[in-house]
Amino acid sequence: MLRGFDRLFALLATSLSVQAVLADEQDVERWGLNMPRGVTEVAQTTYQLHMLIFWICVAIGALVFGIMFYSMWRHRKSKGYKAAQFHESTAVELIWTIIPTVILILMAIPATKTLYDIYDTEEADLNILITGYQWKWKYEYRGSEVSFFSNLSTPKAEIDNLQPKGVNYLLEVDEPLVVPIKKKIRFLITANDVIHAWWVPDLAVKQDAIPGFINQSWTRIEEPGIYRGQCAELCGKDHGFMPIVVKAVPQAEYDTWLTSRAADAVKLKELTAKTFTFDELFAQGEKVYSRTCAACHQPNGQGVPGVFPAIAGSKIATGPLTGHMNIVIDGSEVNPAMQAFGEQLSEVDLAAVITYQRNAFGNEMGDTVQPVDILNFKNKQ
Amino acid sequence: MAHGPQPGLKRWLYTTNHKDIGSMYLWFSFAMFLLGGCMALVIRAELFEPGLQIVQPEFFNQMTTMHGLIMVFGAVMPAFVGLANWMLPMMIGAPDMALPRMNNWSFWILPFAFAMLASTLFMEGGAPNFGWTFYAPLSTEYAPPSVTFFIFAIHIMGASSIMGAINIIATILNMRAPGMTLMKMPLFVWTWLITAYLLIAVMPVLAGVVTMMLMDIHFGTSFFSAAGGGDPVLFQHVFWFFGHPEVYIMILPAFGIISAIIPTFARKPLFGYSSMVYATAAIAFLSFIVWAHHMFTVGMPIAGELFFMYATMLIAVPTGVKIFNWVSTMFRGSMTFETPMLFAIAFIILFAIGGFSGLMLAIAPADFQYHDTYFVVAHFHYVLVPGAIFSITAGVYYWLPKWTGNMYSEVMGKVHFWLAFIGLNVTFFPMHFVGLAGMPRRIPDYALQFADFNQISSIGAFLFGAAQIVFLFNVVRTVMGGKKASDEVWDNPEGLEWTVPSPAPYHTFSTPPVIR
């Protein structure tokens, strides 16, 4: 995470208050019946195609069911209707083979055209590498230093029905993907562990994120706004909890944002050299833990028997520091579900979360890990 | 040799009689239908409201996976095999199936396969949780340890299906009464003959893909692991090469049942017998060249997308021929609406709706929006529940008087029908809306805008579940006794099965019948 402490607090505070206001001002759009019209040309064409096929189906259905219901009404034994005995007619069979074929060909023409548009990923203004992880997205802006993870920001208490649910329940993240409007953006989509799928309905972009493959997709957003989506491919336990938020802003705003993010990255590197107090590390570690570790190891550190090991009283968390750093930074050699967090978290966050794990849940090891220790450990490898 | 059934439990364990084995298949599949149904109700109960109330995400994923596997392999397929066992010999004038001992074996390995699959629910790490399509690497590197039991259960089910299919082909091709030419066979026989060939073609593919998983998990290969030079997308190609014909395996015999019921209650011959046979064969052929329409978003080259889109759209043509034929058969008939006919008509209407959404899904660019949403869930439940379940139910009501010699309760049958019909539509129709509005499938919790329709779906699901209790009660009552059925049962129905007494004797057609 490319983020300092101050920034984190500010962000958290503002996002919470903004959320509370939003919940009052706007209500959820309920009873949604249809595909969104979308905010890109491709999305709108897809919507029109969808409606065209839909109405053709409705017309055919009305005709066939109409004849059927008429017959069920008129041709009943209880009304004394005598059955005709006609059957077999090659002419009729040919008619109801040829007419549907013609209709299908007429459908295929616009569908083929739209498909060519979707596949035209050439000449992009901006390339963004999207990587699916269990259960978060990583965004890397090609040609710049900026890269970050985007996690679900809905509090666990809302999911567990302990707090009222906010208006963007399950569709909100700690850091949205920020993109400029009116620019052709190419998404390069892959995954780190299992297959995910990156889907934002308003952009009509859905592409599987597959380990070992880099898929391509593109968009060109016409209007500024916030567009929300979700992972669309079953990817394990928290498949339902890895949303996507795209924030489309004018070019100037985007440029400012990108510069400040790049500066943040530099600032965070400087923080690595700083020595933190135990309390600072513990407090930050708790936040990192709940964001990154709690999904599997559980908020109380007890894990899930047989699936996810407990942190509380674990051999690693109460054992030598090197072993603990090793599994957090490089992941587990035997269980792929334990990812390598060395590249996912900053040195500060790694130091904080390891300190937290060694001192929370009754582990009481009393030791502190500093960012520089993490850096030294990484450099030794 | 004894001419009646053996007494007690031995009758069922040792039987080689097609009627006994058919009954066992049908009862087994009904038990699995209830088990899979209870899992569906757990899913719907959790989705009644946003937030996590009843189950945790790990268990929710086990429920969706087991529900799918049990319904496909435990409920629908054995039910059709049960109907085939009961009816095929009687329909073609044969004394029994061609390979009666293998018939016994192919049934009796099934309970063990499903006991093994169900036992995974109690294992450490839980049951399979990667969806019934078990995409790698979620089902290999990231799977719970119980995946090995799942693989062996699939192997046994596959062996059972292959043996059943061989038996059906051998029976139909060798045991027809003199004069029963291929083009005189009832459509249920035709559709099962074609289905049996599909089974033999694709069940080994399924066995292959789970064996590759087994190798990846235990023997260090990397068929599906990108890190070892393998290809996760290969899994999907192999799986769907099995999976798409599989969905036709679950629908073609249904076409045969409906083609028997509609003419009986319309009192009019089927409009186009031979075109129905050709349409079935065409659908079976097309089912082998459309598999990647399940994979439009995996990043195939555009030529592949176009091929699979066009081929998939083509399926609408023979399917349309079928629907038009049934409607033409009803047209200017003299219709009555007994329970089998009600289920058959509901089949035509609702299966057509599932066909329409299928056509929409075939349109690749639109599928980028539909794929992996509740729109897909709505689509395949509209083809499978009215398609397979309603046709099986219609077949059971249609032939039950022949099997038991007693008439079922028409009033209870109608109550069952209306509860099931309303329950089904209330459950699955709103899923079209939430899917289009953006709700992904296989999620235990959802955003607030999907809440209202999900609540309606959940209510419908419990209604549909209640309807099955009425069904069970009606069937048990009919088996125990009731008004005696005549040999013909219905008003001048077509087919050899109606020429034997009701209930059908333990051995029928020991001497071949004369075919007009």
Residue A1 has pLDDT above 80, yes or no: no
Which residue out of B18, B44, B244, B402 is catalytically annotated? B244
DSSP 8-state class, residue A308: B
In a domain? residue A137: yes
Say whether B124 and A305 touch across the interface (CB within 8 A).
Answer: yes
Per-range mean pLDDT, top range of A29-43, A153-167, A355-369, B20-34 = B20-34
User: When comparing pLDDT for A362 and B22, which is higher?
Assistant: B22
Closest to B235 in 3D by CA, of B312, B372, B138: B138
Q: Please indicate, yes or no, whether residues A279 and A260 belong to a single structural domain of this protein.
A: no
Cβ atoms within 10 Å of B105's Cβ, excluding its own: 15
Same domain, A264 and A227: yes
Which two three-digit tokens encode residue A330?
Answer: 């490089």
- Is the CB of A104 less than 8 angstroms away from the CB of B130? no
Interface membership of A121 toward B (CB under 8 Å): no
Residues A278 and A253 in one domain: no
* pLDDT score recorded for residue A27: 59
Q: What is the pLDDT of residue A296?
A: 86
pLDDT on residue A5: 43
- Measured between beta carbons, the chain A residues lying within 8 angstroms of B213 are none
The secondary structure of B282-344, three-state, reads HHHHHCCCCHHHHHCCCCCCHHHHHHHHHHHHHCHHHHHHHHHHHHHHHCCCCECCCHHHHHH
State the CATH number of the domain containing residue A346. 1.10.760.10
Nearest to B350 by CA among B326, B385, B321, B315: B385
pLDDT band of residue B477 (cuts 50, 70, 90) is very high
Q: Looking at the complex, report in whole angstroms how far the Cα of residue B260 sits from the nearest Cα belonging to chain A.
A: 15
Same domain membership, residue A157 and residue A257: yes
For residue A53, give its domain range. 41-119
Catalytic residue, from B29, B264, B319, B339: name it.
B319
Question: Which residues 303-332 of B are in CB contact (within 8 Å) with A?
Answer: 305-306, 309-310, 313-314, 316-317, 320-321, 323-324, 327-332
- pLDDT tens string A126-156: 999 999 999 999 999 998 889 999 999 999 8
Side-chain half-sphere of A304: how many Cα atoms within 13 Å?
17
Percent of chain A at pLDDT above 70?
93
Whether residue A136 sits in one domain with residue A258: yes
Q: What is the CATH number of the domain that holds A80?
A: 1.10.287.90
Average pLDDT, chain B: 96
Chain B within 8 Å of A315 (Cβ-Cβ)? Answer: no
Nearest to B445 among A87, A96, A240 (CB): A240
Question: Per the domain annotation, does A46 fall within a domain?
Answer: yes
Distance from the B11 Cα atom to the nearest Cα atom in chain A, whole angstroms: 43
DSSP B416-428: HHHHHHHHHHHHH
Q: Is A282 on the interface with B (CB under 8 A)?
A: no
pLDDT of B3: 66
Average of pLDDT values for B67-93? 97
ipTM for the assembly: 0.93
Alpha helix locations (H) across chain A?
5-25, 41-74, 90-119, 156-159, 251-271, 278-288, 294-297, 321-330, 347-359, 371-380
DSSP for B483-509, written as a single string: SBPPSS-SSS--SGGGGS-SSPPSS--
B371 touches chain A (CB under 8 A): yes
Answer whether residue A30 is part of any domain: no
Domain C-terminal end among A119, A153, A169? A119
- Give dist(CA A138, CA B119) in Å, integer: 38
Residues of chain B numbered 110-169 and touching chain A (CB < 8 Å): 124-126, 129-131, 135, 137-138, 141-142, 144
Residues A296, A245 share a domain: no
pLDDT digits (tens, 9 = 90+) for A313-367: 888 988 888 889 999 998 888 887 888 888 888 889 999 999 999 998 988 888 8
Among the partner residues A29, A93, A114, nearest to B272 by beta-carbon distance = A93
Q: Choose the catalytic residue: B120, B191, B259, B458.
A: B259
Contact yes or no for A33 and B353 at CB 8 A: no
Do residues A17 and A109 both lie within one domain? Answer: no
* Partners of residue B323 in chain A, C-beta under 8 Å: 64
pLDDT of residue A313: 87
Residues paired with residue A231 on neighbouring β-strands, in sequence order = A198
pLDDT above 60: residue A259:
yes
Residue A24, pLDDT > 80, answer no
**Do A276 and A261 lie in a common domain?**
no
The reply to whether B371 belongs to the active site is no
Residues 6+ positions from B503 with CB-CB distance below 8 Å: B402, B403, B404, B405, B406
Same domain, A166 and A261: yes
Per-residue pLDDT at A16 exceeds 70: no
Same domain, A276 and A263: no
- pLDDT grade, residue A17 (50/70/90)? very low
Instruction: Specify if A372 maps to a domain.
Output: yes
Q: What is the pLDDT of residues B225-280, one digit of tens each?
A: 999 999 999 999 999 999 999 999 999 999 999 999 999 999 999 999 999 999 99
Specify if A31 maps to a domain: no
CATH code of the domain in which A229 resides = 2.60.40.420
For chain A, give the mean pLDDT.
88
pLDDT at A183: 96
According to the model, what pLDDT value does residue B8 have? 85
Residue A151 and residue A12 in one domain: yes
In a domain, A34, yes or no: no
Closest-CA residue of A relative to B449 is A30
Question: Per-residue confidence at A10, pLDDT binned at 50, 70, 90?
Answer: very low
State the total domains in chain A.
3
Residue A35 lies in a domain: no
CB of A33 less than 8 A from some CB of B: yes
Interacting residues of B5 by C-beta distance below 8 A, sequence separation 6+: B11, B15, B17, B20, B506
Give the predicted TM-score (pTM) of the model: 0.91
* Nearest Cα residue in chain B from A42: B365
The CA distance from B336 to the nearest CA of chain A, in Å, is 6
User: Does residue A106 belong to the interface with chain B, where contact is any CB pair within 8 Å?
Assistant: no
Residue A4 has pLDDT above 50, yes or no: no
Find out whether A140 and A131 touch, Cβ atoms under 8 Å: yes
Q: CB–CB of B423/B467 below 8 Å?
A: yes
Is the residue at A165 inside a domain?
A: yes
Q: Are residues A174 and A312 in the same domain?
A: no
Q: How confident is the model at residue B394 (pLDDT cuts 50, 70, 90)?
A: very high
Confidence of residue A12 (pLDDT cuts 50, 70, 90): very low
Q: Any catalytic annotation for residue B294?
A: yes
Amino acid at B81: V
Task: Give whichever of A307-311, A372-376, B418-422 has the largest mean pLDDT.
Answer: B418-422
- pLDDT tens per residue across span B283-294: 999 999 999 999
Q: Which pLDDT belongs to residue A28?
A: 63
CB-CB: which of B272, B299, B452 is closest to A30? B452
Given A93, A119, A145, the domain boundary residue is A119
- Which CATH architecture is the domain B14-235 placed in? Up-down Bundle (1.20)
Is residue A2 pLDDT above 60, yes or no? no
Interval A230-246 mean pLDDT: 96
Question: Residue A274 pLDDT more than 90?
Answer: no
Cα B472 to Cα B1: distance, rounded to the nearest angstrom: 35
A255-269, B190-204, B431-445: which range is least confident on average? A255-269
Distance separating alpha carbons of residues A122 and B138, to the nearest angstrom: 32
pLDDT the model gives residue A314: 87
Residue B96 among the catalytic residues: yes
* Residue that is written with structure tokens 């009796």 in the block: B108
A242, A269, A296 - which closes a domain: A269
